[in-house]
Structures are given as structure tokens and as C-alpha cells.
A and B are shown apart, each in its own frame.
Chain A
Amino acid sequence: MSRATGELTAEARKFKRRLTVANWGMVALFVIIMILVLIPFWAIFIATFQDGNMIVRYGLNLGIDLSQASLENWVMLFTDSGQYFTWFFNSVFVTVVQVVLTLLISAFVAYGFAMYDFRFKNTLFVAVLLIMSVPFEMMMLPLYIQINDMGLQDTYTAVILPFLAAAVTIMFFRQYLRGIPKDIVEAGRIDGVSEYGIFFRLVLPLMKPAFAAMAILNGMSSWNNFLWPLLALRSADKYTLPIGLNTLLTPYGNNYDLLLVGSVFSLLPIFVLFIAFQRFFIEGMTAGAVKG
């Protein structure tokens, strides 16, 4: 490129100009889209400094009425928020346990699919694919009855258990594992490492980027999971955050002040997780891409 800077042909100059125009056009487009995406966050953030009931009456807006602005809602969140932080830490607990177990179990299963040939493998694999397209919502009633029959109602076990072998995560890990040279496995066998030792000691460390990507996706869905915990949990002090926040939405109460700050605060952990892991996340997503 640099070789010809002094003596660009007319055509190359035209091409370069076109590229600059395209460049600025794209920048403009992307900036506009980013602003549109961030507007709701801005609107709810500034709303936390206003009276919640007024917001409900007048709707969210971009401007802030400085004469009315106060830190009251934020002070209330940390001093007088009732069970909010109980729900918050319940959510942290459920999410951490679910993510760690789901990743380990799904990786274990995916390894079986990726590295071995065995009877029923295809049948089982088609089962994974089909499960991905069974709407969970249609099974929630029988599943609810089943959880009750198992004596698991109102426990975190009931919240977590049905999602442990996650079909999408298994698919993703399997795809990722297929990119890992089988020589490693063979070398392990020759050195006398057991089949499980090969997985835990040799392969698991290689899966870090895939783990980062799936930690975010699974963390997201667990942190935000709503419908199933709503059915499975009964006592208010066991609620996870989304369900707790939803209870603030009664037509009778005036809890909107708490709901607004509580909502904004609930976004924090998942944002921090995302910012911290986003480099690995995007790398990992690409590495395990759904390839043909």
C-alpha cells in the first residue's frame, strides 16, 4: 500500500476516496445505532433520581428535572429495601452454582460426543437437536408437578436441575472440541492416563475460551431466568432477583421508586461479568462457530 503513495493512479485515488466515504458513512450509521441502543439505559438511569410514582404517571424521558432530582431512591435501596439484597444474593448463588455445574457437565457430555464413536451416538445427537426446539414453556406444567412429586418444591435444586445438561452449550462445546487435535488424546493414552484423566487434565484446560463464551451466555440466562423460578419457588425469602423485582409491580403498592433503582442495580453484576470477559467471549464465540 505505502509503496505507491506518491504516485497513485487516478483509479486508485478514486478507490481510496470511495473507501473514505464508506468509512464515514459506516461510522455515522454505527453511532446512530449505538445511541438508539443506549437510550433506554439512559432513560431508566436518570429516572432513578426522580420520584417513582411521577415516572409511572408521566413515562420515561431523556431529560431530567434537576429541581426534583435526589439521591433518595439510591439511599433507600441500601437502607430500607426490605428483601432486595436477599433476592440479589439468592440470584448470585443460583447463577454461580448453575453456571459452574452446567459448564462442567456440558463439557463432559460434549467430550463424549466429540471424541468417541459409539452405538446410539447419532440417535442421541438428534435428541440434542430436537430438545433445542422443544419450547420449555410447554413442559413447565408437568415439570412443576414432577418437581412436587420429587419433594423438591421451593428449593434451588428444583430451579437449577432441569437446565444442567444444556443442549445449546453441549452443541457449542462439541463443535469447539472437534477443533482440538486428537493427537493429544492419543498421547495421553500412550502415557497411561485414564479416559477421564485425559478429559480433566489434558482437554479441560484447552477449553478456556469456549468456557468464557458459554459462562456469559449461561450466566445471562440464569441471572435473568424468570418463568421457571416463578413456578418452582414459593417463599419470598428464596426468590431470585427477577421474581422479587416483579413482586414490586403490584397495582396496589407504590414501589416504583425501589423498582427503578433495583432494576438498574440488578444490571450491574452481569455488565461487570461481560466487560471482564468480553474479549474471551467474542473470541470463544468465533472459535466455536456453527460451521458447516
Chain B
Amino acid sequence: MKRILYSQKIAPFIFVLPFVLTLAVFWISPLIKSGIMSTQNILPGVTESVGLKNFQRLFGDRLFYVALGNSIKYMLWTLLLLIPGPLILAVLINSKIGSDKFKAVFKSVLFIPALSSVVVAGVVFRLIFSESSTSLMNQIVAIFGVDPVKWLKNSGTGFFALLTLACWRWTGVNILYFLAGLQAIPQDYYEAADLDGASKWQQFWHVTVPSIKPTIVFVLTISVYGGLAMFLESFMLWGGNNSPQNIGLTIVGYLYRQGIERNNLGYASAVGIILLILVMAINIPQLIATGTFKKEER
């Protein structure tokens, strides 16, 4: 027995066994269950199959569209803010300008917000964006002669607070991802470009960006995921799942409301399935188009 388990043929399967087990028990089985639950009406003690009724109801549910719209808007904005900015900062850190010590401090300081829990971050930003005239944001706008704003009560300003929180927490993390990619680019690429008389800007577009494409794809993938699955930031910023006129309601927030707060497990599962389809519909074509699947097969 021991001889078989220790053979070179069986060993790889033993190595990946913990993964296969976790995968089966904690991912695949809940996933299947989620699919089944989405076609059921689940009440304590009674579970009845209702076919696609949950989905039908979902497509006529105004609040679901509000949640969907908010999540998509949030995702698009975070892509717009959290990819180009951190990329440029990472390029600056990686350049020859400035002292390395200073840049190391910068890197570390920017990473610190990511260490804070969403509970703490949410409370801090809720109080910074408080509607009182003495709150930090209202004092800042007062400098420009603007009257105190009820930040978290209006859709636009509430969204601004949410995005500020997102940028604060994740800029440093994305910088690190990009930096890791940048440092893997061979220096001779730039020397060759220099010899050809390429400007810094041309070098950025024609050498840097193509070379770190895999990193950009990776950051894009986790950002799409993170954007569409966002819930806790909103939950903490508004101190619960109920924001005024649902301006902070997201897909997962709606899933939480239906599943946990209202105990509509079947309906909530249908919301979850739509979220899954949405994430996959964006990520799979993107991963195929950028050749990520093929590359990993090596």
C-alpha cells in the first residue's frame, strides 16, 4: 500500500487531493445546491419546486434592477479609477527617478489601508462624510463656499463616498500587483527602444503595456469580480443594508436582504445565479481572448 501511495504516478494525485476535496465539498456542492434552490420555494419544513418562477419574478422586480444597475456602475467606475491610476504610479515607482528609500516608504504607506477591516473603514468614511457641517468633507467643500452636503443621502454624492472608500483601500494593492509585473520586464527592451529613438511615452505604450498584459488581465479579472460582488463597503458605509432610496443597494446586498433578512432562500438563490452568470459572462470571454487558459496549460 505504502509503495503505491509513494510512487511517482500516484504522488501528484495525493498532492492535489486536498484541493479536490475542498472543491467538491465547499464549492461544487453549494454551487449545485444553489442552482436547485433557485427553482424552489423554500419555507421552514416545506420545499416546493416552482420551476423558473423565481427568475420570472426577478425579471419583473424593480428593486433587482436598481441593485444590478448600482453594481455595474460601481464595477465600471472602479475599473476606470483603479487600473490606470495605480499603473501610472507603479511605473513612476519603477522608474529611475527619485530615491529608492522614499519610494519604498510610499509603497508601504499606500498599502496600509488595505489592512484595515471593512468595518473600520466603513465607520471612518461614514463619519468623514457625515452630514454635519463640522465633518471633514463638509469643511473641505466649505473652503470653496459650498453649503454642507448630505453626502450619504443623495445618489451621486453617496456614490462618490463609496468610490473614495474603494480607491483608498485598493490603490496600494493594485500598485503592488503592477509593480510585480513591471519588475519582470527585461531591461534590454527599454535599451533597444531607446536606441530606436522611442520617447518615454512611446516606450510606455509599446513596451511596458504589452509586457505586463498578463498582470493587467489579472487585475481586471479580480476587479470585475470585486466590483460586481461588492456589498460590505455599502453595508458599512450606510450602517446596514438599507440606504436612502436604495442608492447603495447592490446585487449581493439584495441577495442578503432576500435570503437572510426576509428568509426567501429560493428567490435569493436566483439572484445569486444571475450574479454568477454575469461574472462568468464577462470573465470567461476575457480570459479566453487574452489566452490565459491556454497559457496555464503548459
Contacts and interface: CB of A to CB of B under 8 A. Distances in A.
Interface of A: 19, 22-23, 26-27, 29-30, 33-34, 37-41, 43-44, 47, 55-62, 105, 108-109, 111-113, 115-118, 121-122, 124-139, 141-143, 145-146, 161-162, 164-165, 170, 194-196, 199, 220, 223-224, 226-227, 231, 241-242, 245-246, 249, 251, 259-260, 263, 266-267, 270-271, 274-275, 278, 282, 285-286, 288-292
B181 A26 contact: no
A292 B213 contact: yes
A134 B128 contact: no
B136 A37 contact: no
B16 interface: yes
29 contacts: A22-B97, A27-B98, A29-B92, A34-B110, A43-B128, A58-B130, A58-B135, A60-B128, A112-B11, A112-B16, A116-B8, A124-B19, A124-B20, A129-B292, A135-B228, A135-B276, A136-B229, A138-B275, A141-B259, A196-B6, A227-B231, A241-B117, A242-B118, A249-B123, A274-B108, A286-B183, A289-B215, A291-B181, A292-B211
A286 B179 contact: yes
Given A30-B102, A223-B117, A141 B23 contact: no
Contact of A194 (B6, B232, B280): B6
A135 B176 contact: no
Interface range on chain B: under 10, 10 to 19, 20 to 34, or 35 or more?
Answer: 35 or more
A37 to B, nearest CB: 6
A271 B115 contact: yes
Given A274-B112, A286-B179, A127 B23 contact: yes
Given A109-B18, A135-B279, A196-B14, 16 more contacts: A33-B110, A40-B125, A58-B135, A59-B127, A60-B124, A60-B135, A124-B16, A125-B296, A132-B225, A135-B272, A138-B252, A145-B33, A249-B239, A285-B177, A289-B184, A290-B181
Given A263-B119, A291-B181, A274 B111 contact: yes
B16 A142 contact: no
Nearest to B295: A292
Interface of chain A: mostly helix, strand, loop or mixed: helix
Nearest to A39: B136
Interface string B133-151: 0111011000000000000
A178 to B, nearest CB: 9
Given A133-B279, A141-B268, A59 B18 contact: no
B112 A41 contact: yes
Contact of B168 (A37, A58, A113): A37
B47 to A, nearest CB: 11
Interface in B170-195: 171-172, 176-177, 179-181, 183-184
Given A27-B102, A137-B255, A139-B30, A59 B119 contact: no
Nearest to A241: B117
Interface in B72-103: 89, 92, 97-98, 102-103
B37 interface: yes
A112 B138 contact: no
A209 to B, nearest CB: 12
Contact of B134 (A47, A58, A267): A58
A232 to B, nearest CB: 12
B130 A139 contact: no
Interface in B264-281: 265, 268-269, 272-273, 275-276, 279-280
